[in-house]
Chains A and B, each alone.
Chain A
Amino acid sequence: MHRDHPVSINRRSLLQLGLATGGAAVAARYSFAAPAASPSRFVFIILRGALDGLSAVPPYADPDYARLRGDLAIAPPGSSDGALRLDGYFGLNPGLQFMQEAFAARELLVLPAAATAYRERSHFDAQDVLESGMTQPHASETGWLNRALLNVPSAGRGGREGGVALAQNVPLVLRGSAEVASWSPSVLPDLDDDTMRRIADRYASDPLLARRLAEALATGSEAAQAQSPSMASDAGDGPAMRTAVRSTAARYTETVRTVAGFLRRDDGPAIAVFDTTGWDTHFNEGGAQGQLRARLSALDQSLRTLKESLADVWPRTVVLLATEFGRTAAANGTRGTDHGTASAAFLLGGAVAGGRIVADWPGLSARALYQQRDLKPTLDLRSVMKSVLHEHLQIAARALDNDVFPNSSAAPYIAGLLRA
């Protein structure tokens, strides 16, 4: 038996036990891997809380920008604490240095005025729509990425999950009938094989728990191999329960390293999803400095780490970063912004035909704003999602219009966002 490091031992030997004792669920899950037919990899990063797109991608040359934003406005490139230059009109928040490099390397597409089909201002309904891919909240209990997996030619071959959520529980976007995994780092010791087998036996008559346990066992052994060395030793020798307070940046970095570990495997999942939170900046948002910039900077660092960790898989990777809606065009009364409509989204990765800004820029004049208050959406996020699914994961356009995003033919995929 292979013994890479402590975390993997019990679970893998257990898998063998599971096979030996006929634990049906465990056996079914551990059918041996065929390499995934599609080498493409897709990472969806959900920015929960409503990212202020006008601060992430400041349209510094828009004549109304500085006036609306007041203290929150980011100065043009070249001024002290100015935006990072993208072109003569748009810049990036000063915290997004890696993104600027990626833009220059033609690996980043910036989508400054995108939105889902949702037009109200509830975070929770909007996140539901972002994840379900429907036009109304609570219209589906499955997510667009799970429905996409059902249509990926070759997904799930070899009994492997086509998608993994870096979370204890699967978020809506990945829920559905296609098999997916969830994974989060553990600081608890493993069980001995005998106890685990008895638990598996007890769960045999409980379909939900049998399925979840089997998924956990299969993913656990993969993740154990996927982790970076530092994480592995953390998990192996730590005390039973630690409540380490880690910085946001450290947490993101740990997550993207794990993502990369999964995605680099030849038989790894095609899709990974993780969450970031804390974008709801009603108060003291800051501009070139401050709260939002610090959070963007942590995100940016983790994207750099993702690229480095993915190494030779990066050229086959697309990362989509999107939020549930944007924020008001004007600053509110407390140096922040309230719930709005369109926001910025990003497509990043070696497979992206980047270095461009994809915008039919609506402008920020009073007449151009949605309901006289928000940036108006001119790009449907479903079109962007479809482009990735069609051009990167080879899902047929008809399946996208009918199954993955029902009744969405009005939001067709956009050709040419990815490298041919």
Chain B
Amino acid sequence: MIGADARGWLEAQLRGAPAALPAAGLRSSAEILSDAAAIRQQLQTQRRAGPGEDGHTAAAAASASSAAVAAAMRLPQLFRPIYIAEIQARLRNAVITERPWVERLVYFWSNHFAVSVDKLAVLGVAGSLEREAIRPHVLGNFRELLLAVEQHPAMLLYLDNQRSVGPNSVLAQRAARRERTLGLNENLAREILELHTLGVDAGYTQTDVTSFAKVLTGWSLGGADGAGPLQADATGQFLFRALLHEPGAQTVLRRRYGQSDQAQGRALLNDLALASPTARHIATKLARHFIADDPPPAAVARIAQAFERSGGDLPQVYRALLGCEQAWQAPLAKYKTPQDYLLSIYRGLQLPVADRPRSIGAFDVLGQRQFAPGSPAGWPDRSDDWDGASALMKRIEFADALAQRLGGTRAVAELGPQLLGATYSDETRASLQRAANDGQALTLLLTAPEFLRR
């Protein structure tokens, strides 16, 4: 499949259409969020209606409280099957895709622009962020990728921008007349600077963060979104709400942005996308992910240069990465994350992914619940973060349980070279040959030192 020309094989994958997910039946974020909005509205209506006339009896109170529990479960009940179907679809695609490197890049960006489903609001739309904002741009330009992500409802909800209000906006002034205070939420602005673009050491100040947050006021989504004064239009889609937007020019990183409405934020994101610190930040993360935990400075410089010269053209950035000697010199420099480990098993053994929820349970058990890094920084990307003793034991137990289940259905002698290629060691070969049975041989293959690394 890979053949002798590994680099050519990888480069060839960068040509052609974007990396769409061939999955029928997955709904758009707008549809999902419309359903959620309808549920929220019903719940609100019920709350306003309150208990009936006999609301004081113990029985009525009990039934009201069980109704409240049932109501609280309705959003998770909507979101959870969607979340599971999204993961099953991307896992199935990872097993069969003929462009696995592009798929890896999708996962890389999905982690760079991480949302985490421990926040209920994004449980139903984390998968659609990847499908709708990342996949269409993974072979495009970073500028467009960045804009698509920051305007996606999942990101706006995750980093709390949908209700961030300019202190001098029309809405804030109206609220002030009724003695209510509305104002900024600086979460999205800070994480764009720190995590998505420049990186934490780029020298921006708290004033830059606050001004940027003002620029982003009004970047919201349609629909009532829970409670409050947002009018219902374009439910579940990106919507610029002029009433929330802070009027006037803002200065961020010593540059003045005098545009009006969402043009101001677009102009700023464009500048951020093309800034030198962003190029270095992205280059460092790519090199850490694909070359080594402590990436060689020469490789980082080379990738960053390609980023800057091409104005963020991602295929050129990836080619620069493939062109780094260091990428080919030290195989097995990276300890696989649980996600890497499971994807390599599923793909290596061509395992089917059943429809039932349990088919994705292995990610939880091995410590990398999908779309749940717990913070906007995404999953860490160094061996130290993944090579714990308890984590290793879980891989061993998982591999063994799987091998027992598959029994003698796999020709392990052929799988060794197939899965491990040039890294297949004599020691592992010998341990497989000496195995008591095929099941044990498969366990030994899936726990081999070279299979735990990449």
Bound form: Cα–Cα A283–B187 in Å: 9
- Is A241 in contact with B362, judged by CB distance below 8 angstroms? yes
Residue A188 lies at the interface, judged by CB distance under 8 Å to chain B = yes
Number of A-B contacts (CB under 8 A): 176
Taking a contact as CB atoms closer than 8 A, the residue among B159, B384, B388 that contacts A141 in the complex is B384
A86-94, A177-185, A307-315, A407-415: which lies at the interface: A177-185
Binding site for A on B (CB under 8 A): 118, 159-160, 163-165, 167, 172, 181-187, 190, 194, 200, 206, 209, 357-358, 360-362, 364-367, 374-375, 377, 384-394, 396-398, 400-401, 427-428, 431, 434-436, 440, 443-444, 447-449, 452
Given contacts A168-B367, A169-B387, contact A212 B160 (CB under 8 A): no
Bound form: Cα–Cα A237–B199 in Å: 47
The minimal Cβ–Cβ distance linking A198 to chain B, given in whole angstroms, is 6
Contact residues, A185-200 vs B (CB, 8 A): 186-191, 194-196, 198-199
Bound form: Cα–Cα A172–B384 in Å: 9
Residue A78 lies at the interface, judged by CB distance under 8 Å to chain B = no
Bound form: Cα–Cα A403–B401 in Å: 45
Residue A338 lies at the interface, judged by CB distance under 8 Å to chain B = yes
Q: Which residues of B contact A70 (CB under 8 A)?
A: 181
Chain A contact surface mostly: loop
Q: Which residues of A contact B183 (CB under 8 A)?
A: 332-334
Given contacts A277-B374, A283-B185, contact A202 B448 (CB under 8 A): yes
Residue A397 lies at the interface, judged by CB distance under 8 Å to chain B = no
Chain A contact residues (Cβ within 8 angstroms of B): what range?
35 or more
- Is A181 in contact with B200, judged by CB distance below 8 angstroms? no
The minimal Cβ–Cβ distance linking B196 to chain A, given in whole angstroms, is 13
The minimal Cβ–Cβ distance linking B55 to chain A, given in whole angstroms, is 20
Residue A167 lies at the interface, judged by CB distance under 8 Å to chain B = yes
| Ranked 4 nearest A-B pairs via Cβ | A333-B183, A169-B388, A188-B397, A215-B389
- Is B163 in contact with A283, judged by CB distance below 8 angstroms? yes
Bound form: Cα–Cα A219–B167 in Å: 55
Bound form: Cα–Cα A121–B400 in Å: 44
- Is B160 in contact with A175, judged by CB distance below 8 angstroms? no
Given contacts A194-B436, A209-B452, A282-B185, contact A334 B163 (CB under 8 A): yes
Residue A203 lies at the interface, judged by CB distance under 8 Å to chain B = yes
Q: Which residues of B contact A206 (CB under 8 A)?
A: 449
Among B194, B358, B374, B388, max chain A CB count under 10 A is at B388
Taking CB as reference atom, which chain B residue is nearest A189? B401
The minimal Cβ–Cβ distance linking B392 to chain A, given in whole angstroms, is 5
Among B377, B386, B400, B435, max chain A CB count under 10 A is at B400
Q: Which residues of B contact A122 (CB under 8 A)?
A: 190, 194, 200
Q: Which residues of B contact A201 (CB under 8 A)?
A: 431
Taking a contact as CB atoms closer than 8 A, the residue among A48, A123, A184, A195 that contacts B390 in the complex is A184
Q: Which residues of A contact B182 (CB under 8 A)?
A: 333
Given contacts A216-B390, A333-B164, contact A188 B444 (CB under 8 A): no
Taking a contact as CB atoms closer than 8 A, the residue among A49, A169, A199 that contacts B375 in the complex is A49
Taking CB as reference atom, which chain A residue is nearest B369? A243
Bound form: Cα–Cα A217–B396 in Å: 12
Given contacts A195-B440, A199-B447, contact A277 B118 (CB under 8 A): yes
The minimal Cβ–Cβ distance linking A34 to chain B, given in whole angstroms, is 22
Q: Which residues of A contact B375 (CB under 8 A)?
A: 48-49, 123-124, 277, 280
Taking CB as reference atom, which chain B residue is nearest A181? B389
Bound form: Cα–Cα A167–B366 in Å: 11
Bound form: Cα–Cα A209–B447 in Å: 10
Taking a contact as CB atoms closer than 8 A, the residue among B165, B200, B435 that contacts A198 in the complex is B435
Taking a contact as CB atoms closer than 8 A, the residue among A124, A141, A182, A189 that contacts B389 in the complex is A182
Q: Which residues of B contact A186 (CB under 8 A)?
A: 365, 393-394, 397
Bound form: Cα–Cα A48–B118 in Å: 14
